[in-house]
Structure 1
Amino acid sequence: MLPREEIATAKIPGGDTLTLISHGRDHIIMLGRDELMGTRMQYSEEQLARLTLERLGTPKPRVLIGGYGMGFTYRAALEKLPEGGSVTVAEVVPEILEWAEGPLAHLTAESLKDPRGEIVLADVAALVDDAVDGTTPRYDAILMDVDNGPDGIVRDGNERLYTRTGIARMRDALNIGGLIAIWSAAPDHKFTGRLKDAGLKVDVRTVRARPNNKGPHHTIWFAQRVR
């Protein structure tokens, strides 16, 4: 059996400790004793971006992603991004970006140098607020991959993202026809109800963690602003 080797650690502001682990050719980011993400199960995070952009059909979409992680969602968004579009990623842990340029550089390809993308050290909620308040333009899509879902909070304070108020803020940060897409490790029927109560058109998809139709099932909510 291949041993696991600890490469680095990082503290989540207001949260637990992240640990970057190597396991043979694979890498894993641990949250405490739990696997938060890994290179063997990235498909559903890639689908978060691909399925969102397929549904948009918007010319030159402006996309916001909450959480960089290992960059799976970000790279997939750049791959599917129509000409003239842009992607902004909000990440609160500086070490995550150091890992992306260091031990995980083989995963980033050229995405960190792509002029269509920008990674900023910021709380995604703050960027949402800027769009709502008119400080920045509204988005065509907001992709959330900052937690394990509405009931799997990684960082203290992220609970607000999944409340009625948080959902309303994301909705108001969108252009008409825009989408909120939220990744979760598990389904949550109450959260589906909150999205619908916000006047959003909701579709819930179940996606496997691996492209060979294996691994755990993950949930993605697609919630469209229709007015």
Structure 2
Amino acid sequence: MIPWVQLDSARTPDGGQELRLKRRGTEFSIMLGTNELMNSRLSGSEEALASLSCEKIAGRKQPKILIGGLGMGFTLRAALAELGGDASITVAELVPAVVAWARGPMAEIFNGCLDDPRVTVREIDVGHIIRSDISAWDAILLDVDNGPEGIVHKGNDALYGAAGLGAARAALKPGGVLAVWSQGPHSGFARRLKQAGFAVEEVNTRANGKRGARHVIWIATNGK
């Protein structure tokens, strides 16, 4: 069996943990300690995050999409495939090394999508963008952790509390969508979304097509 080789590492924003980029043949993995955050062979649920969201805003002119977390670009590429030429997508990535990996060792996986004229990449906390914008976005897609709690960056916890969800709702246009990816179920998060004023759907999806681990996506629609 081909062994894993570590290509690079980077500290999390609080400096307390280490992200590691590994490669085995054509397969890539991003690890946080012993926890695999993402793998280049498993893209189904991240793609579903984009496709489910884009279905909700289909037909809108010049849609504006905010993606929190670049990862391996699965959500971004799926959104580009769903949206027309008049769309604009902003990707907020807090760890600069992840952007460097996308343009360097993992460039083949990204297949030039970062150079699409519809795409803007900002090395910034997605929460900062959300709090700064009012009624600006047709959809906000969050995949910045393994679910609605901050294991990569404890500051991400603020995205999923009452204040963070309220800010996300304020940042969305009427009928806009907040979509949140999770590695697994989270008791009470759907209730928290409803308390923030969203209409909520909880969708179970697979990591790889019809196979692989079961992941959860919350699709929360702003009815204001």
Instruction: Give the TM-score of the pair, scaled to structure 1.
Output: 0.95
CA contact (8 A) 2:18 2:32 kept: yes
Whole-angstrom CA distance in 2 between matches of 1:50 and 1:214: 18
The residue type equivalent to 1:98 in the other structure is A
SS of match in other structure, 1:216: strand
Matches within 5 A, 1:24-173: 24-57=25-58, 58-132=60-134, 138-151=136-149, 153-173=151-171
Look up the match of 1:226: 223
> Where in structure 1 are there 5+ consecutive unaligned residues?
none
Aligned counterparts of 1:29 and 1:69: Cα–Cα separation in 2: 8
Deviation at 1:152, TM superposition (A): 5.4
- d(CA) in 2 for partners of 1:30 and 1:42? 16
**4+ long deviations beyond 4 Å:** none
Q: Structure 2 length normalisation: TM-score?
A: 0.96
Aligned residue pairs: how many? 222
Unaligned runs of 5+ in 2: none
CA distance in 1, matches of 2:34, 2:185: 22
Alignment partner of 1:193 is 2:197: no
In the TM superposition, what is the alpha-carbon distance from 1:112 to its structure 2 partner?
A: 1.1
Q: Which amino acid aligns with 1:192?
A: A
**CA RMSD, 1 decimal:** 1.1
Q: Percent identity?
A: 44
Q: How do residues 204-223 of structure 1 correspond to structure 2 at under 5 angstroms?
A: 204-211=202-209, 213-223=210-220
2:176 counterpart of 1:175: no
1:6 maps to 6
3-state DSSP of counterpart to 2:153: coil
